[in-house]
C-alpha cells in the first residue's frame, strides 16, 4: 500500500482551501492568508501538501485546480488569472489594425481580446464562440460571422464538422487563438478533439497567428495536440516563460510579448513586423 496520506486526513483549513479552489479554479496565497488568518508560510505548507496529494497544481503566488483529461468548468477558467488575461488581451489587441479580417476561437482569453476590439473600424470577425458574438454583435463598424455546428452548453463554443467546413471557406489576416496547456517543447494542447480540429483549421487559414495564453498554461496538462509554437507568429503571455521556451521562440521566429498589469507590453523576442 502507498504511504501517501489520503484526502480524508486533511485538516479543516486544507479542506476549505480545496473547496475554494474547486469553486474558483485558482487561489492566491495572499487571499488565503487573509481568509484563514494564518501566516503565508502556513498557507504555502498547505498548498504544497495538497500538491503532493495530486489535488492541485502550484503556480506563482498560489495554486490552480488539478486537471487531467477533462477541462475545468467555464466559470473556473474565466476566474483563473483574470487580471493577467485582461493585460494579455489589451496587448494582443494592439496587433490588430482597423480593416482587418480575423478569426477568434474558443477561450476565456480570446473573449477578452474581443472586448478590446469593440471600438475598432472595418473589422471582419469570424468566430466559433458565442460569447465573442455577443460582445461584438452591436458594434456598427464590425461585421461578425459565426460558424454553425454543435453549441457546447458549458461555454458557448461551437464545434463539429460543420464548424470546420465553415472556417475552411476563408483566408483571413489574423487568427487569435487560445490553448489549455503549453509544453516546454513548444507543443500547444487542448482537451476537446472537436475544438482542436476547429483550431487547427483556423490556424491553417490565417496569414498570421496570435496565441494568447497566461502563464498558468505552462503548469497544466492537456491530452490533445493543436499545433506547436513554430506555427505561431506572436505569443502574448503575462510572464517570461522558462529560458528554454524563450529560446525556442527565438529559434522558431516567434515574437514573444509580455503583457504587464495596466497597458505595458514588452517584446522580449521581436521577430516580426506589426500586423497591419
The pLDDT of residue 83: 87
Alpha helix segments (H runs only) across 80-178 = 82-93, 108-115, 130-136, 161-167
- Side-chain-side CA neighbours of residue 51 (13 Å): 15
Indicate the CATH number for domain 80-269.
Answer: 3.40.50.1360
In the chain, what are the domain boundaries? 7-66, 80-269
What confidence tens digit (pLDDT) does each residue in 179-231 have?
A: 999 999 999 999 889 999 999 999 999 999 999 999 988 988 888 999 999 99
Q: What is the pLDDT of residue 144?
A: 98
Residue 126 parent element (H or E) = strand 123-127
Q: For residues 159-169, give the mean pLDDT.
A: 97
Measured CA to CA, the distance from residue 77 to residue 54 in angstroms comes to: 19
User: What is residue 102's DSSP assignment?
Assistant: E
pLDDT score, position 264: 75
pLDDT category at 3 given cuts 50, 70, 90 is very low
Average pLDDT value for residue range 218-245: 93
pLDDT digits (tens, 9 = 90+) for 39-84: 999 999 999 998 888 778 787 788 877 655 445 666 666 677 788 9
| pLDDT (average), residues 135-149 | 97
- pLDDT score of 185: 96
Whether residue 8 is predicted with pLDDT greater than 60 in this model: the reply is: no
Q: In this predicted structure, what is the pLDDT of residue 262? A: 65
Percent of the chain predicted with pLDDT > 70: 87
| CATH of segment(s) 7-66 | 1.10.10.10
Output 151 or 260, whichever has higher pLDDT: 151
Does residue 167 register a pLDDT over 70?
A: yes
Yes or no: say if 29 and 43 are a contact pair by the CB < 8 Å rule.
yes
Amino acid at each position: 500500500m502507498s504511504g501517501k496520506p489520503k484526502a480524508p486526513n486533511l485538516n479543516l483549513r486544507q479542506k476549505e482551501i480545496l473547496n475554494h479552489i474547486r469553486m474558483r479554479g485558482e487561489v492566491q496565497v495572499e487571499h488565503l492568508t487573509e481568509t484563514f488568518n494564518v501566516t503565508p508560510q502556513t498557507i504555502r505548507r498547505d498548498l504544497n501538501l495538497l500538491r503532493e496529494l495530486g489535488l492541485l497544481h502550484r503556480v506563482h503566488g498560489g495554486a490552480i485546480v488539478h486537471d487531467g483529461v477533462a477541462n475545468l468548468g467555464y466559470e473556473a477558467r474565466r476566474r483563473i488569472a483574470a487580471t493577467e488575461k485582461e493585460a494579455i488581451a489589451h496587448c494582443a489587441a494592439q496587433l490588430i489594425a482597423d480593416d482587418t479580417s480575423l478569426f477568434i476561437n474558443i477561450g476565456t482569453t480570446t473573449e477578452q481580446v474581443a472586448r478590446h476590439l469593440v471600438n475598432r473600424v472595418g473589422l471582419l470577425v469570424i468566430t466559433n464562440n458565442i460569447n465573442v458574438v455577443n460582445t461584438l454583435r452591436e458594434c456598427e463598424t464590425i461585421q461578425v460571422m459565426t460558424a454553425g455546428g454543435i453549441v457546447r452548453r458549458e461555454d458557448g463554443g461551437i464545434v463539429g464538422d460543420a464548424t470546420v467546413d465553415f472556417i475552411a471557406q476563408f483566408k483571413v489576416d489574423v487568427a487569435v487563438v487560445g490553448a489549455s496547456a503549453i509544453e516546454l517543447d513548444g507543443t500547444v494542447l487542448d482537451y476537446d478533439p472537436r475544438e482542436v480540429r476547429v483550431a487547427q483549421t483556423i490556424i491553417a487559414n490565417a496569414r498570421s497567428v496570435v496565441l494568447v495564453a497566461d502563464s498558468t498554461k505552462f503548469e497544466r496538462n492537456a491530452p490533445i495536440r493543436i499545433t506547436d509554437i513554430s506555427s505561431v507568429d506572436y505569443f502574448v503571455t503575462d510572464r517570461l516563460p522558462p529560458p528554454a521556451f524563450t529560446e525556442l521562440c527565438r529559434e522558431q521566429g516567434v515574437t514573444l510579448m509580455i503583457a504587464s498589469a495596466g497597458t505595458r507590453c514588452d517584446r522580449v523576442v521581436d521577430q516580426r513586423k506589426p500586423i497591419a
